[in-house]
Chain A
Amino acid sequence: MLDFFNIDSLLSEDERAVRDSVRRFVDERVLPIIGQCYVDGRFPKEIVPEMASLGVLGANLPEEYGCAGLNNVAYGLIMQELERGDSGVRSFASVQGALAMYPIYAFGSEEQKKHYLPRMAMGEIIGCFGLTEPDYGSNPSGMITMARQQKDKTWVLNGAKMWITNGSTAHIAVVWAKTNGDADEQSIRGFIVERGVTGFTAKDQKGKLSLRASDTSELVFQDVHLQADALLPKSGGLKSPLMRLTQARYGISWGAIGAAMACFEEALSYAKNRVMFDRPIGGFQIQQERLADMLTEIVKAQLVSLHLGRMKDAGTFTPQQVSLAKRNNVSIATDIARECRRLLGAVGILAEYSAMRHMANLESVYTYEGTHDVHSLVLGQALTGLSAFK
């Protein structure tokens, strides 16, 4: 893996060790199977136990809950390496760690944390995160999923969630709902809904042309009866799920670099070996410019995410800075994947090569966890003080 700017020198020994261990796992376990998984439209569940024993699930949560207790830069490097394999594999880990485990850690009771987190770190319990609804994506405050508390303190949940990664695989869903008929976003609370409860169904999203090696589902809740302890007691208001999205978006800013690195390495290798007009196509200026542009954007993105991670570890980062990193890094990765596909010529459309798979995946990553456009508006608001949302 080319490290043109010697960015490794900015990483600690254990950050590099974590990165190298996950890198080897991806090389040996993910890359040999992922092209076929993508063609088959199948998430490779068989790698989950090994991912778990490696420790990538909730890796930045504390050791007392069975996690590795890594810093945020090491966590980011894990996301980078997983997405070098495939955005679907990284999405699985992001959702499990940042969107399912993290809310339980941040908003759950001690009993909930002790019950769920060690089992989720071991991959015995898979989680998903239900915020987006069919008619409420970029504007989650409008959600219509509703939980009503009964006289005996239990809850009844009704509604539907859409575009839910891990939805059909998951044993539990962390579901966000308004409460007790109150349409205000302040009434939003988080609930842990276990698979198998009456009235809860998960349906695979069919016909995806992106993230095909990932499980994406629709969740439906029809008079789902939940015990009082299903509530995440410290959750309150829309800011709770949005805080978790900031966590996940941070990881995505790193993940996108991984996809871009995979495409760049593929493009570079192909350019040096593919002979046309009696010389490697890497000798033509047009391909050299492509490669130079790819490398430059990757280096810039790496430095953005690394600095963001250092600020996150220091507790000084802001959601707007995460917006900048997610927006930039996913956008450049999408462009790099497309340029790589073009450099590869005809073979670039084959599943044997990774460029077109990454290119199609990144269109989802561009759209989820805050669309590129919404992050533009977040930055616009930060710059001007004027909200485009109201």
Chain B
Amino acid sequence: MKIAVCIKRTPDSESRFKVGASATGVDETGLKFDMDDFASYAVEVALQTNEKQGPGEVVAVAVGADNVQETLRKAMSMGADRAIQLKADAPVFDGLAVAKALAAELKSGAFDLIFFGKYAFDSSASIVGTATAELLGVPCVTAASKLEIANGRGTARREIEGAGEMVEFPLPAVVTIDEGIARPRYPSLKGIMAAKKKLLETKPAQLGPLRVTVKSMELPAERPPGRIIGQGAAAVPELVRLLQDEAKVL
């Protein structure tokens, strides 16, 4: 089985973010970047699927500047066989353009399965996986929390509001991966050394026109300071009233 997994490099979500000088993106000074959490679940699912289905190939693919190579090598240190960087020097916000670049690369690869994270933490757009599936003309299952592959077909579970649903689909297909499906493995130390010897190709990203761009970025307003409204049981009615009327959380 031939599997592609498309990954994104994002900043550590626990960082303190600042808006950059251009006011259209975050200031990357001092930020620690790593594979996006959802992408790491997707890599784990790709590796486990490959292990279950017998010897095949897992190819990690990413659109980005040269620093994305470190993220691709991480995927290879986890076990992906090779990697492809689709080079784009500036960050691309237009998810459809990213999908076009990925589809242009993936269409000739004869992949049985293409995995994505359900979205990336930094943009939370959920576009690239579904748009890639559409451009490739293959079925797409989003936010899978379980996945079984057998006899050229897949079965996936999706968590929806108050319920779970099971879906079936033929391969080839795109599946975007929800958290909790599998704990990403640690890159073993031997894996890290082996990744340096695996093939990492760099090709220009065929993005086409970028029709959606970030106009400006701003941090959320400072939270007002907390206040003490009283003490003991006597304060409860007032607390409930404020939570209902002011904070509107009850």
Identify the A interface with B (CB < 8 A). Answer: 13-14, 17-18, 20-22, 24-25, 53-56, 59, 63, 68-70, 74, 78
Contacts and interface: CB of A to CB of B under 8 A. Distances in A.
Contact of A70 (B70, B186, B189): B189
A20 B188 CA distance: 11
The 9 closest A-B pairs by CB, nearest first: A55-B189, A68-B189, A68-B190, A17-B192, A21-B187, A55-B188, A21-B186, A55-B190, A14-B192
14 contacts: A13-B70, A17-B77, A17-B192, A21-B188, A53-B188, A55-B188, A55-B189, A63-B190, A63-B193, A68-B189, A68-B190, A68-B192, A69-B193, A78-B189
Nearest to B196: A14
A18 B191 CA distance: 10
B186 A25 contact: yes
A56 B190 CA distance: 9
A54 B193 contact: no
Contacts of B190: 55, 63, 68-69
Contacts of B74: 17
Contacts of B189: 18, 21-22, 54-56, 59, 68, 70, 74, 78
A60 B158 CA distance: 44
A63 B197 CA distance: 14
B73 interface: yes
B51 to A, nearest CB: 14
B15 to A, nearest CB: 12
A70 B193 CA distance: 8
Contacts of A21: 77, 186-189, 192
A68 B187 contact: no
A53 B192 CA distance: 13
Contacts of B73: 13, 17
Contacts of B196: 14
A162 B189 CA distance: 33
Contacts of A69: 190, 193
Chain B facing A: main interface SS: helix
Contacts of B193: 14, 63, 68-70
Contacts of A70: 189, 193
Contacts of B192: 14, 17-18, 21, 68
Contacts of B191: 55
Contacts of B187: 17, 21
Q: Which of B70, B73, B186 has the most CB of A within 10 A?
A: B186
Nearest to A69: B193
A275 to B, nearest CB: 12
Given A17-B77, A63-B193, A69-B193, A54 B70 contact: no
Contacts of A68: 188-190, 192-193
B7 to A, nearest CB: 15
Contacts of B77: 17, 21
A14 B192 CA distance: 7
A25 B191 CA distance: 15
Nearest to B69: A13
Contacts of A53: 188
A70 B196 CA distance: 12
A53 B189 CA distance: 9
Nearest to A15: B192
Contacts of B34: 20
B70 A24 contact: no
A53 B190 CA distance: 9
Given A18-B189, A21-B187, A21-B189, 13 more contacts: A13-B73, A14-B196, A17-B74, A17-B192, A18-B192, A20-B34, A21-B188, A24-B186, A54-B188, A55-B188, A55-B189, A63-B193, A68-B190
Contacts of A55: 188-191
A22 B193 CA distance: 14
Contacts of A56: 189
A86 B190 CA distance: 24
A356 to B, nearest CB: 27
Contacts of A54: 186, 188-189
B201 to A, nearest CB: 18
Contacts of A63: 190, 193
B187 to A, nearest CB: 5
B184 to A, nearest CB: 9
Interface in B188-212: 188-193, 196
B80 to A, nearest CB: 14
Nearest to B183: A28
Interface in B156-193: 186-193
Nearest to A70: B189
Nearest to A17: B192
Interface string B48-82: 00000000000000000000001001100100000
A266 to B, nearest CB: 17
Contacts of B70: 13, 17
A24 B186 CA distance: 8
Q: Which of B70, B74, B188, B190 has the most CB of A within 10 A?
A: B190
Contacts of A17: 70, 73-74, 77, 187, 192
A251 to B, nearest CB: 15
B134 to A, nearest CB: 35
Contacts of A25: 186
Nearest to A121: B190
A329 B34 CA distance: 30
Nearest to B186: A21
B179 to A, nearest CB: 15
A325 to B, nearest CB: 23
Contacts of B186: 21, 24-25, 54
